[in-house]
Amino acid sequence: METGIGLYIHIPFCRQKCAYCDFYSVLAQPGAIDRYLNSLAAEMRLQGQGQLISTVFLGGGTPSLLTARQISTVLDGVSRYFLLAKDAEISMEANPETLLNTDLAAYRVAGINRLSLGVQVLDNDLLPHLGRRHTAQDALTIITRAQAAGFTNLSCDLIYGIPGQTMVGWQHDLQTITARGLPHLSLYCLEVHDETPLGQAINSGKMQLPDPDLAADMYDWAREFLPQQGLVQYEISNFSRPGFECRHNLIYWHNDEYLGLGPAACSYRSGVRACNVADMDTYACLVQSGQRPVGSSECLDVRGSAAETVILGLRLMSGVDAHKFVQRFGVTLEDVFGDTITDLLQRGWLVSTEKGYALSAHMVPLANVVFRCFLTDTNT
């Protein structure tokens, strides 16, 4: 496998904003997508210098609002301005309802080889709480069709901790989905952001979050159940059959380099984290006039980079790789975090692995407690 960088392409269009979502997206107006694809090509021209790309991830927004032909245009651009590895993983996020009247095989032909479906929950009473437009049946239909179209590398997103969701409902969803034999699942605890419609509904008392202990129980149950179905937990929120881990996301957790294209997309290159402007018009204007559409950037010091490497690495069940750490920073993990590591090992919050250190199983749901130990005080 060649080692290249990851390429994230943001498709900032939605038919309707989900109630919990705080990502940047706009409503898809006629013609807007084609205009956007022009801007995207302009940004590729600016950023592309033939870099080797080992993974492409089309995220959103709702990438599945693009037709197979439009996807093909995007990927043609990637091939033109970058060096796309032959075995590249090319993922696309999709909302079930957008694919009901499409030929899924056409997306495979266009180059997509991994599909990530936003199923969220298989309960038609809960889906509207999330502002989703599909039904449970839509989701299951699309899973069947995707498998039929040859998407062996297929993943589903599921959400737990939804207002009104029960343990029984959660167990039923996981059982139904695993029965379909998908090789990958992402399970997300509902995060409530104040500025989203869901956040406002909860803050105003119109809706009530379930007991946090119920969400903890749901997570625990999944962590026990999924491995029995052959889906191994490889990251805090991700489970897969061995070999089906999302290679693109592994780049993030290995703290390796990636390039993000599109408004609000972020990049990490040469120690600099940069994010594009989160506004479609500004973005278009900048790239069309030949300027990089960067809105904010942050250059991390070595200590900050080291802390991020550890925190991201510990999200993986395999843990943070001590050998790679030395290669990267020229010092050992113990040189930088010796006292913290000793303390955490003593408390039983970390375990030593062959390659380095990992969260002990009982600390996975409490990962933030460990992560905070690796951060320096902001005001000292």
Partner 1 sequence: MQQNIRNFCIIAHIDHGKSTLADQLIQTTGTLSQREMVDQVLDNMDLERERGITIKLQTVRLLYQAADGQEYVLNLIDTPGHVDFSYEVSRSLAACEGALLVVDAAQGIEAQTLANVYLALEHNLAIIPVINKIDLPAADPERVKREIEDVIGIDAENAILCSAKEGIGIVEILERIVTEVPPPSGNPEAPLRALIFDSIYDDYRGVITYLRVVDGTLAPGIKIRMMATGAEFEVDDVGIFTPSQTPLPELTAGQVGYMAASIKNVKDTRVGDTITLAKGGAKEPLPGYKQIMPMVYCGLYPIDTVQYEDLRTALEKLQLNDASLVFEPETSDALGFGFRCGFLGLLHMEVVQERLEREYGLDLITTAPNTVYQVTLNDGSVRKVDNPSDLPPAGSIAELAEPYVKASIIVPSEFIGNMMELCKDKRGNFVNMDYLDSNRVVLIYELPLSEILYDFYDQLKSRSKGYASLDYEIIGYRPSDLERLDILINGEVLDALSTIVHKDRAYSKGKALVQKLRRIIPRQMFDVPVQAAIGNKVIARETVKALRKDVLAKCYGGDISRKRKLLEKQKEGKKRMKQVGNVEIPQEAFMAVLKVDE
Q: Residue 104 or 337: which CB sits closer to partner 1?
A: 337
What are the angstrom distances between the C-alpha of 254 and each of 6, 306, 315, 316, 373? 11, 12, 10, 9, 19
Cα–Cα dist 358/186, whole Å:
20
The single residue among 26, 83, 216, 317 that binds partner 1, judged by CB under 8 A, is 216
219 binds partner 1 (CB under 8 A): yes
Backbone angles phi, psi at 298, to 5 degrees: -140, 125
**Vertex 91: Cα angle to 127 and 75 (nearest 5):** 125
The single residue among 207, 264, 287, 358 that binds partner 1, judged by CB under 8 A, is 264
Q: Residue 68 or 120: which CB sits closer to partner 1?
A: 120
Cα–Cα dist 161/213, whole Å:
10
The single residue among 147, 166, 237, 282 that binds partner 1, judged by CB under 8 A, is 237
What are the b/e assignments for 348-357, b being 16+ CB within 10 Å?
ebbeeeeebb
Q: Binding segment for partner 1 among 100-108, 122-130, 200-208, 247-255 (CB under 8 A)?
A: 247-255
311 binds partner 1 (CB under 8 A): yes
Beta-bridge partners for 56: 7, 90
Which residues 7-36 are close enough to bind partner 1 by CB under 8 A? Answer: 8, 23
Three-state secondary structure call for residue 130: helix
Q: Binding segment for partner 1 among 65-73, 145-153, 213-221, 286-294 (CB under 8 A)?
A: 213-221
Cα–Cα dist 245/25, whole Å:
27
CB of 141 to partner 1, least distance (A): 26
Q: Binding segment for partner 1 among 12-20, 99-107, 166-174, 363-371 (CB under 8 A)?
A: 363-371
Backbone angles phi, psi at 341, to 5 degrees: -65, -45
CA 59 to mean position of chain CA atoms: 8
The single residue among 94, 192, 226, 265 that binds partner 1, judged by CB under 8 A, is 265
Q: Residue 27 or 299: which CB sits closer to partner 1?
A: 299
Beta-bridge partners for 92: 58, 115
Beta strand 154-160 with 114-120 is parallel
The CA-based dihedral angle spanning residues 156, 162, 168, 173, taken in that order and rounded to the nearest 10 degrees: -10
What are 104's two structure tokens?
Answer: 């899924």
Q: Binding segment for partner 1 among 70-78, 214-222, 280-288, 317-325 (CB under 8 A)?
A: 214-222
6 binds partner 1 (CB under 8 A): yes
CB of 366 to partner 1, least distance (A): 5
356 binds partner 1 (CB under 8 A): no
Residues 268-307, mask of contacts with partner 1 (x by CB under 8 A) = x----x-x----------------------x--------x
318 binds partner 1 (CB under 8 A): no
Q: Name the site residues for partner 1 (rule: CB under 8 A).
A: 6, 8, 23, 187-189, 191, 212-213, 215-216, 219, 236-237, 249, 252-253, 258, 260, 264-268, 273, 275, 298, 307-308, 311-312, 315, 364-369, 371-372, 375, 377-379
